[in-house]
Amino acid sequence: MMKHFYLKIFLILILTSVQFVGQIKIHKTITTEDGLVQGQISAMLQDKQGYIWIGTFDGISRWDGKNFLSIQTYNGLPASQILDIEEGSDSSIYFASYGGGVLVYKNGILDTINKKDGLLTDGIITIKLLSTGEILFAGDDGNISKLKDGKLNNWSEKIGFPKYDVYGIYESSDGTIYCATENGLVIVENNACRILTEKDGLITNWLWSINGDSNGNVFLGTNGGINILKENKISSLVLNENIFRNAAFKIKVDKNNKVYFATNAGILINNNGKLENITTLNGLPTNDIWSLLEGTNGLLYFGTNGKGISVYDPKEKIINFRNITGLPEEKIYCIEESADSEFYFGTRSGLVI
């Protein structure tokens, strides 16, 4: 169950956003000695006010660009391990505090939602804000609670959700909810669920990632390839006349419906049916990619498993950042871009700005 979430352990790096790859610089490192609550960072969110919330395996830090505000078990956190962070439509910040339920931060006040309040489980793993403003709290063994108008309901029991761990949730424009699980794809519509598995065309039942585009395609990153669901039909992504059979850990879809897959066979780009595979043959230091992001500057940022950061300009070349170029840690688990176009790269060793 926890394999997927160990991939979220990260530190944060910030690169200055500029037009050309060669001008990117790596700045200073921030660790626990500088006020970061703990070095193993498991989740991160920039809220509407611009604060950076950092969830770790021993508490929460809020970064305002200069100073940290820390929340731990001694001052209000119900359990130390944070696995996910989400901001509600009313600007409340929700933290999946594994083993302690959900911590809620609003206007400087802390509150806790747990089993005593009606939460199905205190082992919350994933939090998903829906388009309706409702919030799903997904926990161990398919136990999912829904928060609606300040009240909890046992959503998974109501719809008959199977006892599967959920690794990702996607909501389509029509309100259908798709859950990537360890045993297939669970589709929830009209308060009922159905399950798609290998018998229905999935390459494998183990789904690592999920996302969708505005054309009605739902992309499924499995442990052995990529499936596409559209109009209840499942197809497999084909590269060079063969089914692509590598794990896809992350899926990003941009505003133009270009889809990026981080896989253990490099980066796969699906541009309206035209496929491009970026690998070591193109200059990547490794094909084992754990995270990716298309920046607003048009550059592509790849986080690798033990080989640092790669920055790709489709018009130029790939530039790699490793220990020898000043990168303190080469396992990169997460990449985010802030509202002011700064880039955050998650590893396992601390916070670098």
What percent of the chain lies above the pLDDT cut of 90? 65
pLDDT greater than 60 at residue 147: yes
pLDDT computed for residue 179 by the predictor: 98
CA distance 230 to 202: 13
**Residue 47 · residue 58 · CB < 8 Å:** no
Instruction: Provide the residue type at 281 as one letter.
Output: L
Least confident of 3-17, 159-173, 315-329: 3-17
What are 208-235's pLDDT values in tens digits?
A: 999 999 999 999 999 999 999 999 999 9
Examine the pLDDT at 10 and tell me if it is beyond 50. Answer: no
Counting Cα atoms < 13 Å in the Cβ hemisphere of 300 gives: 26
Query: pLDDT of 241-280, one tens digit each?
Result: 889 999 999 999 988 899 999 999 999 999 988 899 999 9
State the average pLDDT over residues 161-177: 96
- Provide the sign of the torsion angle of the four alpha carbons 217, 221, 227, 233, taken in this order: negative
pLDDT at 346 over 60: yes
Please compute the mean of the pLDDT values over residues 32-36 and round it to a whole number: 85
Residue 224's CB is within 10 A of a number of other CB atoms, namely 18
Give the DSSP per-residue string, 218-247.
EEEEETTEEEEEETTEEEE-EETTEE--S-
